Structure 1
Amino acid sequence: MPLTLLRLRLVLVSLLAVSFLGALDNTVVATSLATVAGELGALQHMGWVVVGYTLASTVLIPVLGKLGDVVGPRLVFVSSLVLFLAASLACGFATSMGWLIACRVIQGMSSAGLQLMSQTIIARVAAPRARPRYMAIIGAAFPVAILIGPVLGGIITDSWGWPWVFWINVPVGGLALVLAVLAIPHIEGGSSARRFDVPGALTFTFVPVALVLGVSWAGDPSAGTAALVAFAVAALVFVVFLLVERRAAEPLVPLRHFANRTIAAGTVVSSIVGIGLFSITSYLPTYFQMAYRTSATVSGLVPIATVFGMLVSNLLTGFLASRTGRYRAFPIIGTTLGTFGLLIMALLPAGLPLWAPMAVMALVGLGTGAFMSLIVAVVQNAAPRGEVGVVTSTVNLTRQVGSTLATAVIGGIIGFGVAGRLPQGMDAADLTPQAVHASAPGTQAAIAGIYHEVFAPIFAVLALTYAIGIVAAVLLPHGRLSDELETAPASEPLSA
């Protein structure tokens, strides 16, 4: 039965608050990591505060998606939120790095449930035509968290101490929990056969574990062999996982869904966000500090411009798609803008005024935001009612794994590419922005040229990735989102 407008708004407020907490958690914590590691006396294990969170979240995405279909998304959402708040409280009381990492793993596990079930609940309580608008509002939490998270984390750490970086989740999350219990209706599990794919879950677990370990080792020259072995294990186990899924009665990731053109094309389009943009964003400040010789503060303006463009177009296209019921044009336009922008970045000469690359990357952000949240709603509309959680998890999983892999590959290319081009006698380990800016003008120009030579082909390949997204977006079937609350059968997308 459709919810009243007031109750639907309360549901949306609860989901938005929780999505914002989940998105903010990593960006706020990143600012305080050095302080935390220093006080707990374990600087060498600092990276695992982030890696443990990411790993746990990735591993549980398909598991929780399936679980939401079996027992209902409300139960998984509320349970995940309670676990997230308990883990946040425990993180603030950590007296050792091992304690903190263990709590961060629990946070990562629960954050996967919050992210997935927020999207799944919207799909179960809102009509298809209304979903893009609601998905855009919830999806806005991510770019907003990127914009304000680092600053907020610094203020909280300096003013109240690092434990409050975690404890701040408790009052906000507690309010969201009350709203969720009161507003989110009981939603029956839609899966007809209540069997869980245990072999698939166990097999899949090894894939992201090996991937994340490979990523964490890829930047360490002494662990190069271990990284290659980890990536090889991930590929091998992934093949085994696919074979297990083909034979499973109730697979964790139903491969038959990819026979549906909307789901297959939509999943490819969604993965472009992780592969084509999330992977390069963290390297942009370094690029502009070296190639454009800016300070660390100024170099952060380019990612901010990118994320701001993403935020604006995410909200705009979500509302337009809900108003018109049409969705196909937005992924096509978005992937085209992304292709065009990244191609310009590949051709843009170093040394131009900073506003030029800022404007170009803002264009890439505008393009990406045009389909970032919308494509999730489109794919959900093509899924059978009992498997919305599974399909939602598949879309999110390809995006996250694509981002992890692409980030590792790009990091390796930058590291080896820069080191291989340095003049004789210059050590890449000592190549900090401060050292470069203090060197002779000729050396600065040489380093700027090296970074431009390394990054130009990276931007070109990412432009090609977005071009593949154009093809996938064109392959999306024509259709119009329905005003009815029923979900279409898996063989065709919803249409009016």
Structure 2
Amino acid sequence: MRLRLLATCLLTVSFLGAMDHTVVSTSLATIAGELGALQYMSWIVVGYTLASTVLLPVLGKLEEVLGARKIFLGSLAIFLLASLGCGFAADFGWLIATRVLQGMSAAGLQLMSQTIIARVTTQRERPRYMAIIGAAFPVAILVGPLLGGIITEQWGWQWVFWINIPLGVLALVLALFALPKLEGQASPRGFDIAGASVFTFSLVALILGITWASKPGFPPVAMAGIVASLCGFALFLWIETRAAEPMIPLGMFRNRTVAAGTALSAIIGVGLFSITAYLPTYIQMAYQASITVSGLVPIATVFGMLCSNLFTGWWASRTGGYWMFPVIGSSLGSAGLFAMALLPAGQPLWIPMAIMAVVGIGTGSFMNLLVALVQGAVPVRQTGIITATVNLVRQIGSTVATAVIGVSVAAGVAGLLPAGLDAATLTPQQVHAAAAPVQSEVAQIYASVFAPVFAALAIAYAAGILAALCLPRGRLSSAPAGAAHEASEPVTTQS
């Protein structure tokens, strides 16, 4: 009973963190317009994403020192206060500051939810609970934008943030009752301050550089940010090889499960999460679909991801088998994206919907299962670190690939558009109102520009097949959490 209450609490806060990223999307223009800062509208999202990404490895290391319970409760309290502050924002600077706090606390909620589950369940039980908690993300993608629009129209944009308060308070009450005491296992004197500082700087520089690179002309400041990040990451690796208690112990990656699982997590970010932002535009231009109808393709993708995530989590916990899911899932992802690359423009819309649903099914089949696998492959004290690492590489992969795709598509379309059409101002409505030959030509242009993008992402998933084949075969262990080992070896029993 207590474990079920705990799972309910963790699902609630995971849903809050995921929703706060998606529910704001339909309110951006309203918020920025009322606060008089339309030119900075994107920072409502960027500030949240940047903060949540940067803090992941720091929180993973802090979990060793403070324990998951303290970080979870502290993150939840800060998230509620930040949500309250967002709604009361009187100017844009205030809003961005509170959104950064929201992002930082959301990282703690996401990370500690997965870490706590790892601490209180066996590896055999873990996939089922990971799947339940992981369902928060696809559900938030499905309902977030719609719910955000309804709330903004009916109550005002402030309630997009204030709606977190009642659910968050309920989760806090459940957490105080159901959350076990999970103390830290490392000395605070061993915290890698130098590594954390350099890593934070490098990651911020990378994300800002990529964000600026998506602007026309590739501004020099973008190159400066990317170069600074590369130098910073090189320095970070040097620090980690010499630190007594490194923030990310590089020795973890000598473990086959950790190395393969981390690679697969990065491939998910590169291969699927990056393209979902561009699917509606692709469908609107290549298939002449309306804005509303174009949303059906990403919805089909996410729905496939949700269903397979829940099924494979249940199946892995029931049988203990796991090896086939990453292999089959990455194969489905690769095949689906290759099919999208070969698909001619103008096909019935159900065809790309079905293909992307297959990609979603393949990805969902191992997305959260990976977390359970790598958690069982490291000593218990490193659970927070490895959980942060697999989430971090997924987000970095998605961020980098999203920017690269944006630059590639913009350059490709601009170079192929016929005279009289400006890529910088071209809208789907403008194309739909044009003559039939123009519509057909634009559709062919977008199909030809996106084809190599889909092919490249399919190759990334094909590399995922190789990574999945490197995972050790066996069955998930039913030994109590932390009892089976204290060495960096997979907690599996051979079949």
What TM-score results when the alignment is normalised by the length of structure 1?
0.97
C-alpha distance in structure 2 between counterparts of 1:329 and 1:463, whole Å: 19
What SS does structure 1 have at the residue aligned with 2:424? helix
Deviations 1:375-411 (A, max 9, x none): 0000001010111000111111100111110001011
Of 7-16 and 185-194, deviating more is 185-194
Of 456-465 and 265-274, deviating more is 265-274
C-alpha distance in structure 2 between counterparts of 1:241 and 1:408, whole Å: 24
Residues 159-238 of structure 1 aligned to structure 2 (within 5 Å): 159-191=154-186, 195-221=190-216, 224-238=219-233
1:54 and 2:29 matched: no
C-alpha distance in structure 2 between counterparts of 1:306 and 1:24, whole Å: 18
C-alpha distance in structure 1 between counterparts of 2:259 and 2:185, whole Å: 22
1:410 and 2:428 matched: no
What SS does structure 2 have at the residue aligned with 1:247? coil
**Of 341, 344, 348, which aligns to 2:339?**
344
1:491 and 2:463 matched: no
| 1:274 Cα deviation from its structure 2 partner | 0.8
Deviations 1:107-165 (A, max 9, x none): 01101100000000000011110000000000000000000000000010001100000
| Matching residue of 2:7 | 12
Residues 10-409 of structure 1 aligned to structure 2 (within 5 Å): 10-191=5-186, 195-221=190-216, 224-409=219-404
| Structure 1: gaps spanning 5 or more residues | 1-5
- Aligned amino acid, residue 22 of structure 1: G
- Aligned amino acid, residue 358 of structure 1: M
| 1:194 Cα deviation from its structure 2 partner | 5.1
C-alpha distance in structure 2 between counterparts of 1:210 and 1:180, whole Å: 36
C-alpha distance in structure 1 between counterparts of 2:287 and 2:77, whole Å: 46
C-alpha distance in structure 1 between counterparts of 2:98 and 2:332, whole Å: 40
Of 395-404 and 480-489, deviating more is 480-489
| 1:215 Cα deviation from its structure 2 partner | 2.7
**Of 450, 464, 475, which aligns to 1:455?**
450
The 8 Å contact of residues 338 and 363 in structure 1, kept in 2 or not, is answered as yes
Deviations 1:287-328 (A, max 9, x none): 010011100000000000000000000000000000011111
C-alpha distance in structure 2 between counterparts of 1:194 and 1:132, whole Å: 34
What SS does structure 1 have at the residue aligned with 2:419? coil
C-alpha distance in structure 2 between counterparts of 1:279 and 1:182, whole Å: 39
- Aligned amino acid, residue 46 of structure 2: V
Of 15-24 and 213-222, deviating more is 213-222
C-alpha distance in structure 1 between counterparts of 2:93 and 2:210, whole Å: 21
C-alpha distance in structure 2 between counterparts of 1:134 and 1:412, whole Å: 39
C-alpha distance in structure 2 between counterparts of 1:406 and 1:242, whole Å: 23
| Matching residue of 2:461 | 466
The 8 Å contact of residues 118 and 481 in structure 2, kept in 1 or not, is answered as no
C-alpha distance in structure 2 between counterparts of 1:62 and 1:257, whole Å: 14
Of 374-383 and 420-429, deviating more is 420-429
| 1:230 Cα deviation from its structure 2 partner | 1.5
| 1:192 Cα deviation from its structure 2 partner | 6.4
Of 227-236 and 405-414, deviating more is 227-236
The 8 Å contact of residues 257 and 490 in structure 1, kept in 2 or not, is answered as no
C-alpha distance in structure 2 between counterparts of 1:156 and 1:219, whole Å: 31
Of 261-270 and 232-241, deviating more is 232-241
- CA RMSD across the alignment: 1.1
Deviations 1:425-467 (A, max 9, x none): 4211121101111111111111111111110000001000001
C-alpha distance in structure 1 between counterparts of 2:255 and 2:333, whole Å: 26
What SS does structure 2 have at the residue aligned with 1:248? coil
1:428 and 2:423 matched: yes
Of 87-96 and 266-275, deviating more is 266-275
C-alpha distance in structure 2 between counterparts of 1:184 and 1:87, whole Å: 23
- Aligned amino acid, residue 446 of structure 2: Y
The 8 Å contact of residues 211 and 404 in structure 1, kept in 2 or not, is answered as no
C-alpha distance in structure 2 between counterparts of 1:429 and 1:440, whole Å: 20
Summarize the Cα distance change of 1:490–1:462 in structure 2 as closer, same or farther, 3 Å threshold: farther
C-alpha distance in structure 2 between counterparts of 1:215 and 1:168, whole Å: 32
Deviations 1:231-259 (A, max 9, x none): 22212211111111111111111100000
| Matching residue of 1:3 | none
- Aligned amino acid, residue 378 of structure 1: L
C-alpha distance in structure 2 between counterparts of 1:128 and 1:251, whole Å: 26
| 1:30 Cα deviation from its structure 2 partner | 0.9
What SS does structure 2 have at the residue aligned with 1:210? helix
